[in-house]
Amino acid sequence: MSTPEVAASTLLRQPQPTEEDTARSHDRSRVHHARRQRRRWHLMWLLVGPGILAMLGENDGPSMIAYASDGAQYGLGFFVPFIPILFAMAYVCQEMCMRVGAVTHRGYGELVLQRYGRVWGWFGAGDLTLTNLVTLIAEFVAIRVGLAYFHLGSVVAVVLGLALVVFTLSGGRYWRWERIVLGLAAFNGLFLLAAILVKPHVGSIAGSFDFTPFPGGGFNTLLLLLASTIGATVTPWMIFFQQSASADKGMTPADVAHGRYDTALGAVLAAIFGIGALVAGAALLPHHGSAIQGFAGAGFPQALKHVAGGAAGTVFALGLIEAGAVAILTISASTAYAAGECIGASHSFNSSPRGAAVFYAANIGVALLAAVVILIPGAPLLSIALNANVLATVLLPVSLVLMVMLANDKGLMGPWANKRSTNVIGIAVIAFVALCGAAYGIDSFLQTIQVIG
Amino acid sequence: MSAEGPGIPECDLQTQERAEDALIMHLERDQFVAETSRPVPRAPLSARVSTGLWALRVFVVLVSLMVIYTFVAQLR
């Protein structure tokens, strides 16, 4: 059933609509009108959202600092072609999430819990909560790093982050939340502007597409680079978020094609802006940029100011604030979706706070918890932030395997189930992610206990 | 509800109800909260798939513990 006419014939059998149904049907009516009037661009505008937000949300504070740090330490070679490959991998995973959400109208957490049992559902929610909490702390740190450039401290970062979460939740509509966050996410393009401001040599960017020079350093350093860069592009929260947001938006199988455009556009933009951060960081390579590592990247905007001028430093600092803010909103939302789905409570931006208390409480609560951690004096924030992406990479394979299982489930997906080619690529992605995460984890552990040098 | 107030004419109420019905028609039946609240049936996992999932789970937990141990050791 895909048209209002067909729906009308079954009106008498329709269930009693809730406030959530009414809000969602408002959005769907606009989609139907745009489709009926063949207004392609308007239809595209109405249906984009979850894919772009998942991809640009993952271009978060730690990820952009990781890209800039890669550029400052190793230059452009290897990473310029590697980042688009990783986002192509992310597209494969996220397209499955969007498709399952649009076809089943249910989130990842609830489907895993109901289809494969409570154990797997709660394991997934546990992984998500752990990685989300760690990542949210890193997002507040990123905002703090950006604000430090303007001589503002932790308290401002906390107030700004929490105020944004509360403000975006205040409308009681998915559409409103999505459009505000999309508007903020557009400022991820500041990293591209920062790259332009450092006046890079275009030939060197083009030349780095042959994967050279390969980053030097030890085997463990290379594994850390791989694990943290993968963790900067594909993470458990993206899986939960895009599937749940696609369902919350009211997407249907008729919208899958547009969902693919949305996801692909998000992947392309995220790859371009990620490379922007890399190029901006690479401007520091001839100026001992390797000294500015990881979240000591507090010095990145300042260093860029000295090397490429005040405008580059300011734009990079503003970009970090944006990256952290958007990620706080999307990651908190994914936690809230998972909490509502696993507990079996209402979980939609289209519900009021009274109707979906767990959803709203989890959304604000997880952000509040992360905010409290960054206010603790002496907390190892830099180490937590550095390890956020690695932990996400290590925990990702289980979520991905269950995602592929859902996307292959003919009982749920019918004709929309995965094709063989999608499965081959999906399994290759899972194997690559699992191998990189495990290799780094095991190698680091053996070095730590001094079994290997 | 204000719609039940004494000052609203009957024809306005009917128009409002028709508009709400027309709006709700834009949702597919299985999109309604009443439908999505109904759990999907459990899928039987074969012994092979179940074993594979548990093996992956144990593996992931072990590697996570290694990463966390390394993280804590580096803090010292």
**Alpha-carbon span B21 to A174, nearest angstrom:** 21
Which residues 323-362 in chain A show a CB within 8 A of chain B? 346
Q: Where are the alpha helices (DSSP H) in A59-173?
A: 61-74, 79-104, 108-116, 118-148, 154-169
Highest mean pLDDT, choosing among A118-122, A295-299, A364-368, B64-68: A364-368
Q: Tell me the domains of chain A and their CATH numbers.
A: 53-448 (1.20.1740)
Q: What pLDDT score was predicted for residue A439?
A: 86
pLDDT of residue A157: 93
- The predicted-structure confidence for A128-168, as pLDDT tens digits, reads as follows 888 899 899 989 989 998 998 999 988 999 999 999 999 99
pTM, 2 dp? 0.89
pLDDT value at residue B4: 44
Of B29, B53, B73, the CB nearest to A401: B53
Chain A nearest-CA residue for B27: A25
Query: B47 or A214, which is more confident?
Result: B47
pLDDT of residue A295: 44
Whether B13 has a pLDDT exceeding 80, the answer reads no
Establish, for the pair of chains A and B, how many residue pairs have beta carbons separated by less than 8 Å. 142
Of A14, A110, A402, the CB nearest to B29: A14
Quick one: pLDDT band at residue A233, thresholds 50, 70, 90? Answer: confident
Residue B29: closest CA among chain A residues belongs to which residue?
Answer: A14
Give the single-character DSSP code of A413.
H
Contacts of B27 in chain A (CB under 8 A): 7, 17, 21, 24-25, 28, 250
In the structure encoding, which two tokens stand for residue A172, read together?
A: 């009681």
Mean pLDDT of A372-394: 79
Residue A234's alpha-carbon distances to A31, A100, A319, in angstroms, are 30, 18, 20
Query: What ipTM was assigned to the predicted interfaces of this complex?
Result: 0.78
pLDDT band at A38 (very low <50, low <70, confident <90, very high): very high
pLDDT score of A183 more than 90: yes
Using the Cβ of B35 and the Cβ atoms of chain A, whether some distance falls under 8 Å is answered with yes
A107: closest CA among A315, A281, A336? A336
pLDDT in tens, A324-360: 999 999 999 999 999 999 999 999 999 999 999 999 9
CB contact under 8 A, B36 and A18: no
With CA atoms as reference, report the closest residue to A15 among B32, B52, B11. Answer: B32
